[in-house]
Amino acid sequence: MNFDLKILGTASAMPISDKNPSAQALQVQGRLFLIDCGEGTQQRMRQMHLSFLKVEALFLSHIHGDHLFGIFGLLSTMAMYGRSEKLHIFAPASFAPVLRFFLSYFGEGVNYEIEHHPLDCKAPELVFSKKNLEVLAFPLQHKIDCFGFRFNEVLTARQAEKRAPRSFAYCSDTMYFPELAGWVKGVNLLYHEATYPQALADKAAARFHSTTHDAARTALEAGVGKLVVAHYTSRERDISLFEKECRVIFPNSFAANDGDVFEID
């Protein structure tokens, strides 16, 4: 059964003509989950033939616009398609007034329940467990409350006889800190923001972001299978530079483009 990551957006805060801000779709054995929701998310979902009605849960790392501004359109479109199934949103407590605003001004016709699960943890904590998936949230080091997520596949006894469970970790906006490698240890695929090339390390530190070397160092220390980076600064348009710099430290690194699909195995 499938376990794959679809990249819906790879830009950071400043607009880039050929890149949407942060958003990803994770498919696990036929189930669909969204991670962050920058502008253009629903358009990219249409392009990649992802159903609005099949989204089971949405995981928001933090309340910065480039990770959030697409959510009003997405929630409205779900309503227009006649969604009736509850939507679970795992997000910092600061998301609560954003959701209230949406429902107050644009909630007419939203006939499905939206349940916000506030995130507040100082170390990895199980926040979602159902059928073949469990999700842990963990704190990142950014300017505001920000969380990463680890998605662990849960196998039946029969499946476990044939193969090992697969895993994916999403590390959004953060500066490097040593504890993170332990929290994402051994995942098959690690997504880690690498907003800046190493030459702009001073800007990364000032803005609580990571460089290519920061992301690759975490991947190496965690012993992950594969590293994918994105959330690129608009200052650098050649993303091959990000991949090259990561591979100096962690050879199995890839700089993502919008629309890329990564199989997790």
Which residue numbers are catalytic? Answer: 66
114-119: strand order across its sheet: 114-119, 87-92, 55-59, 31-37, 23-28, 3-9, 261-263
Work out the end-to-end distance of the chain between its first and last CA atoms, rounded to an integer number of angstroms.
11
- Is residue 78 within 8 A of residue 112, CB to CB? The reply is yes
Q: Which residue has the tokens 């800190």?
A: 177
Return d(Cα 32, Cα 102) in angstroms, integer: 23
**Angle of CA points 103, 107, 110, to nearest 5°:** 120
DSSP run (H or E) holding 193: strand 189-193
